[in-house]
A and B are shown apart, each in its own frame.
Chain A
Amino acid sequence: MRKIYLTLALLLAIVFGADAQRAKSVILIYLDGGPSQTDTFDPKPDTSRDYYGSYKGVAKTNVEGIEIGEKLPLLAGMADKYSLIRSMTHGSNAHETGHYAMITGDTSGGAIVYPSFGTVISYMKRDTYKGVLPCYVSVTSANSRFNEGGFLGNEYKSFDTGGRPEKTEYEVEGIVNKFVDREGLNRRMSLLAEFETLPMDKHEIDSLRAVNMEFIWGESREVFNLANEPDSIRQRYGMTRLGQSCLTARRLVEAGVPFVNVRTTGWDTHKKHFQFMNSMLPNLDKAVSALLADLDSRGLLDSTIVLCGGEFGRSPKIMWEPPWNGGRAHFGATFSYLVAGGGFHGGKVVGKTNKTGEKVVERPVRPCDLIGTVYMLLGIDPYGTLPHVSEGELPILPSLLDKKQSGGLLYEIIDIKKPDYEK
């Protein structure tokens, strides 16, 4: 039976060629502030208290040989669904440059400001994506440390939902206005139509307003209405901001949205690191495991890339001394990313760090390698170009062209074969 499937898959691959991409959407769960890799996806239990702190053990996963942090038992039960990159590195220890590197795949220091990869994907899909919902949605707010539009401008940046998905009423900005019902808005629109006398951009503005009416009262409203979801599912994600944001992300992807950014803050734990981890990791564990399981059971994981990580990691060595009294510092030399779905294999580990987790010893992965692989899975050429207003066409990922800035695309955890020219 298995053989038949394989043959079928092979046939399909031949028919559709290398262009047949599986991924349709991306969910980025962004742990803003920089999460500790040694307490999550790259545990080092054989080190001393100076590194491992108050944690004692690890969580053995359902994949032989893979262990993750002891505070992530639910994710440990499903390691076959995701892979871990333990050798992420960009070397930057400052939030702004770390964010920039991780979200654009570019290295900072050049004169050109690159757009975030969500913006790039939104730009690339501008002609093919026809949904009513925006192409790029941030639940609940976008990353704020730099302008995500970069040289592509503001047009392709994310729609930020605002509101609180964990509350009874998720007031999505512009969609849910509890003061005005459908009749009320219709009434106002007719008054406005009569009031409007100035002709500029009239045709365009009228049609944009009509699109908005469809957006407010159409499918989108229901997508954001989490009350449509059975209580058991809501509970499974956790009734936290992160949990309900991940649930929103699933609903958006189900509705066809190509890029969803779930941003969660509070990971910049210079002080009281372990207290924070003890309260935050169970929420993360719950939310991400529920998302992966839910996507999988709906057959969406195959076409949805899930990424989870921050702008950098945290120092494996704990700062016990005052004023930190048990904190971890910014750390860009090594950090981890979880990747799943959309063509990424599950149950694999990419790269390796040394005994203390402070150095990459095997297969460094740079931000451009991860983002380039995501592009490839989406059918976007990672060696393609983007238009710049004054500089002409620029490479979509300049760092990928520089051997010193790239460790190579992640061919080891996807089905696409490495082309000869890259060998």
Chain B
Amino acid sequence: MKKTIFIIIAYLSCVAMQTQASAQCSDEVFLRRAYLTVTGSMPSAQTAAKFLDDESENKRERLISRLLNSELCFKYMQMRWGDILRIKSEFPSNLWPNGVQAYNRWVYEHLMNNTPYDQMVRDLLLSEGSNFRAPAVNFYRGFQKRSPENFYANINLLFLGNRKCSDNGHLCFSQVKFKSTKEWKEEIIYLDIHKSVPTQRIVLGDGTTLSPKQDTDWREEYVRWLTSPDNRRFAEVMVNRMWYWVFGRGIVHEPDDWRADNKPSDPALLARLTDYFIKNNFDIKKLMKKILLSKQFASKAAPEGFYTPQRLPAEVIVDALASVTGIWNTYNSRVPEPFTFYPPRTRATHLGDATVSSTELELFGKVSRDVSLEGQRNNSISARQLLYLMNSTVLEQRIRKSGILKKICEENTTLPQLADAITLRILSRRATAREKQMYEKYMQQNSLTLRDLAIDMVWTQINSNEFLYNH
């Protein structure tokens, strides 16, 4: 009897899960979700209109492919990597502006060239040379306390998801040395190759024994073990991180807290994706594409579907507010020297340096890159953030001064046209009939001009959940 009930329940939950996953989101939602997830930016009104009016079958797949090969994608992923690599001029990484620039470029090029993940990690960990000329060495510089133990703890966290490591693999990093040069803030990271090999046996967490040879780079043996396809955890951590970047929740969660008692929520899914990733030689772009074309990514938002809405990251909200009004913030940093001035219209998602910030970015929780944990990004909504959107003079002025919004008002002289144009710009969809009625009533009741209505419409939409969340 018990068994029968169990089987029925199991069957029913299977059915429920299937329907949950198969409840597909609309084209409007898919477009916005794909853009925000892959590029951290909203589609333009024109792009949105074009996509919505496109009737071809494979338009979603074509969209994903196009986005994955766009500059905006590389730059946005560069931000994700920058967060966990703690790319920052000042305290506590202290990489200095030149180092930050070089390091970011290194990340960007690997993403653009779609360097296989294992190769990228090898380049990073086996680096040597000047922090300005061999950018990957900044990995070793970005520590307040530069010790083999700290390097090793960070490697464990980043690539194996271990928050605690109890083995002595750090010995493989004990040859790393630093030498200053006469150039301001330039430093050479080199290996003390003639150091005598450790007398201690190096035994890694899984029982593997390493025996580094005299007069060689001891890191090599460790990195070979780390990045090998046989070390399944290495691939799993990246697969899970990508899942986390897309859905805001890892299959193993937190994505950097792998423990025997922290089980994956869907082991079969993790295994499938990991097999795929290894089989495709650690191809990051293919992995991302696989996830973006999954039924989970195309599902409706919870509770109807799988997708859990996520408040947009700070940089993305700030950029979205700028692109709605067409009035962009200017970013600069006068500390530390040399002064950094970003070109006009630089996106917050592209800043690349956690030292450069603004009140707006701080308000929405820009990551300060003090630690390599994904959880450092706080995307919860707060009263102060809503206060800013509701009643900020700065934001209000931007809406009122916006040349683009003025132009939209001039070009769309009827309420339905205006509502469509503004909603396409802010929410990547056209206004619904209900909304148009609502605006009509609102305009009449308060005897507003179309221009006044437009301003309140913009205010309403940027205050709405639909704007603030990826849903």
> Which A residues lie at the B interface, using CB under 8 A?
95-97, 100, 108-111, 113, 134, 141-142, 144-147, 149-151, 153-155, 157, 159-160, 162, 171, 173-180, 185, 187-189, 191-192, 194-198, 200-202, 204-205, 208-209, 211-212, 215-216, 389-390
By a CB distance below 8 angstroms, the chain B residues around A159 are 384
Of B163, B388, B397, the contact of A174 (CB 8 Å cutoff): B388
Of A155, A178, A200, the contact of B309 (CB 8 Å cutoff): A200
CB B419 to nearest CB in A, in angstroms, measures: 11
- When A and B form their complex, which 5 residue pairs have the shortest distance between CB atoms, in order from nearest? A147-B368, A174-B387, A113-B370, A198-B465, A208-B383
Most buried by B among A111, A144, A176, A189: A111
The answer to whether A209 and B388 touch across the interface, beta carbons within 8 angstroms, is no
**A198-B471, A212-B391 given; A205·B386 CB < 8 A:** yes
CB B357 to nearest CB in A, in angstroms, measures: 7
By a CB distance below 8 angstroms, the chain A residues around B100 are none
By a CB distance below 8 angstroms, the chain B residues around A95 are 335
Q: When chains A and B are docked, how far (Å) is the Cα of A188 from the Cα of B457?
A: 9
By a CB distance below 8 angstroms, the chain A residues around B368 are 113, 146-147, 149
The answer to whether A196 and B464 touch across the interface, beta carbons within 8 angstroms, is yes
CB A176 to nearest CB in B, in angstroms, measures: 7
Q: When chains A and B are docked, how far (Å) is the Cα of A215 from the Cα of B383?
A: 10
CB neighbors of A among B217-272 (8 A) = 257
Q: Does B166 contact A (CB under 8 A)?
A: no
Chain A to chain B contacts (Cβ below 8 Å), 28 pairs? A96-B335, A108-B92, A111-B144, A142-B362, A145-B90, A146-B92, A151-B370, A154-B365, A154-B378, A155-B378, A160-B359, A174-B390, A175-B387, A178-B393, A179-B393, A179-B397, A187-B456, A194-B438, A198-B464, A198-B465, A200-B465, A202-B465, A205-B465, A208-B383, A211-B383, A212-B386, A215-B383, A216-B387
Q: When chains A and B are docked, how far (Å) is the Cα of A96 from the Cα of B384?
A: 27
By a CB distance below 8 angstroms, the chain A residues around B80 are none
Q: Does B185 contact A (CB under 8 A)?
A: no
CB neighbors of A among B372-393 (8 A) = 373, 375-376, 378, 381-384, 386-388, 390-393
How many chain B residues touch A (CB < 8 A): the figure is 55
By a CB distance below 8 angstroms, the chain A residues around B92 are 108, 113, 146
CB neighbors of A among B58-109 (8 A) = 90-92, 94
Known: A173-B359, A179-B396. 4 other contacts (CB 8 A): A96-B336, A179-B397, A200-B301, A204-B381
By a CB distance below 8 angstroms, the chain A residues around B465 are 196, 198, 200-202, 205
By a CB distance below 8 angstroms, the chain B residues around A209 are 386, 390
Chain B 283-313, CB-CB to A under 8 Å as 1, else 0, gives 0000000000000000001000000010000
Q: Does B51 contact A (CB under 8 A)?
A: no
CB neighbors of A among B395-411 (8 A) = 396-397, 400
CB B24 to nearest CB in A, in angstroms, measures: 17
> Which B residues lie at the A interface, using CB under 8 A?
90-92, 94, 143-145, 150, 163, 257, 301, 309, 335-336, 354, 357, 359, 362, 365, 368, 370-371, 373, 375-376, 378, 381-384, 386-388, 390-394, 396-397, 400, 435, 438, 442, 446, 456, 459-461, 463-466, 469, 471
By a CB distance below 8 angstroms, the chain A residues around B435 are 195
The answer to whether A185 and B144 touch across the interface, beta carbons within 8 angstroms, is no
Q: When chains A and B are docked, how far (Å) is the Cα of A313 from the Cα of B73?
A: 46
Of A100, A176, A215, the contact of B91 (CB 8 Å cutoff): A100
The answer to whether B378 and A195 touch across the interface, beta carbons within 8 angstroms, is no
The answer to whether A110 and B359 touch across the interface, beta carbons within 8 angstroms, is no
CB closest chain-B residue, reference A149: B368
Of B145, B370, B393, the contact of A150 (CB 8 Å cutoff): B370
Q: When chains A and B are docked, how far (Å) is the Cα of A192 from the Cα of B128?
A: 56
Of B143, B365, B393, B461, the contact of A111 (CB 8 Å cutoff): B143
Q: When chains A and B are docked, how far (Å) is the Cα of A202 from the Cα of B466?
A: 12
CB B399 to nearest CB in A, in angstroms, measures: 9
Q: When chains A and B are docked, how far (Å) is the Cα of A373 from the Cα of B456?
A: 51
By a CB distance below 8 angstroms, the chain A residues around B459 are 188, 192
CB B32 to nearest CB in A, in angstroms, measures: 12
Q: When chains A and B are docked, how far (Å) is the Cα of A178 from the Cα of B446?
A: 19
The answer to whether A147 and B370 touch across the interface, beta carbons within 8 angstroms, is yes
Q: When chains A and B are docked, how far (Å) is the Cα of A151 from the Cα of B92?
A: 12
The answer to whether B396 and A187 touch across the interface, beta carbons within 8 angstroms, is no
The answer to whether B393 and A176 touch across the interface, beta carbons within 8 angstroms, is yes
By a CB distance below 8 angstroms, the chain A residues around B144 are 108-111
The answer to whether B163 and A390 touch across the interface, beta carbons within 8 angstroms, is yes
CB B223 to nearest CB in A, in angstroms, measures: 23
CB B379 to nearest CB in A, in angstroms, measures: 11
Of A111, A194, A216, the contact of B145 (CB 8 Å cutoff): A111
**A150-B370, A208-B383 given; A173·B442 CB < 8 A:** no
Q: When chains A and B are docked, how far (Å) is the Cα of A151 from the Cα of B375?
A: 11
CB A136 to nearest CB in B, in angstroms, measures: 11
Q: When chains A and B are docked, how far (Å) is the Cα of A202 from the Cα of B384?
A: 16
The answer to whether B375 and A389 touch across the interface, beta carbons within 8 angstroms, is yes
Q: When chains A and B are docked, how far (Å) is the Cα of A176 from the Cα of B394?
A: 10
By a CB distance below 8 angstroms, the chain B residues around A175 are 387, 391
**A149-B368, A216-B391, A389-B373 given; A144·B378 CB < 8 A:** no
Of B91, B301, B375, B393, the contact of A96 (CB 8 Å cutoff): B91
CB A209 to nearest CB in B, in angstroms, measures: 6
Q: When chains A and B are docked, how far (Å) is the Cα of A198 from the Cα of B304?
A: 12
Q: When chains A and B are docked, how far (Å) is the Cα of A155 from the Cα of B384?
A: 10
Most buried by B among A95, A159, A191, A197: A191
By a CB distance below 8 angstroms, the chain A residues around B373 are 389-390
Most buried by A among B90, B92, B471: B92
Q: When chains A and B are docked, how far (Å) is the Cα of A216 from the Cα of B387?
A: 8
Q: When chains A and B are docked, how far (Å) is the Cα of A146 from the Cα of B144?
A: 14
CB closest chain-B residue, reference A172: B393
The answer to whether A208 and B362 touch across the interface, beta carbons within 8 angstroms, is no
The answer to whether A201 and B396 touch across the interface, beta carbons within 8 angstroms, is no
Q: When chains A and B are docked, how far (Å) is the Cα of A113 from the Cα of B91?
A: 9
Of B370, B382, B388, the contact of A173 (CB 8 Å cutoff): B388
By a CB distance below 8 angstroms, the chain A residues around B365 are 154
Q: When chains A and B are docked, how far (Å) is the Cα of A159 from the Cα of B387?
A: 11
By a CB distance below 8 angstroms, the chain B residues around A215 are 383, 387
By a CB distance below 8 angstroms, the chain B residues around A187 are 442, 446, 456
**A202-B465, A390-B373 given; A145·B91 CB < 8 A:** yes
Of A110, A111, A177, the contact of B391 (CB 8 Å cutoff): A177
Q: When chains A and B are docked, how far (Å) is the Cα of A188 from the Cα of B390?
A: 9
Q: When chains A and B are docked, how far (Å) is the Cα of A113 from the Cα of B144?
A: 10
By a CB distance below 8 angstroms, the chain A residues around B145 are 109-111
Q: When chains A and B are docked, how far (Å) is the Cα of A194 from the Cα of B441?
A: 12
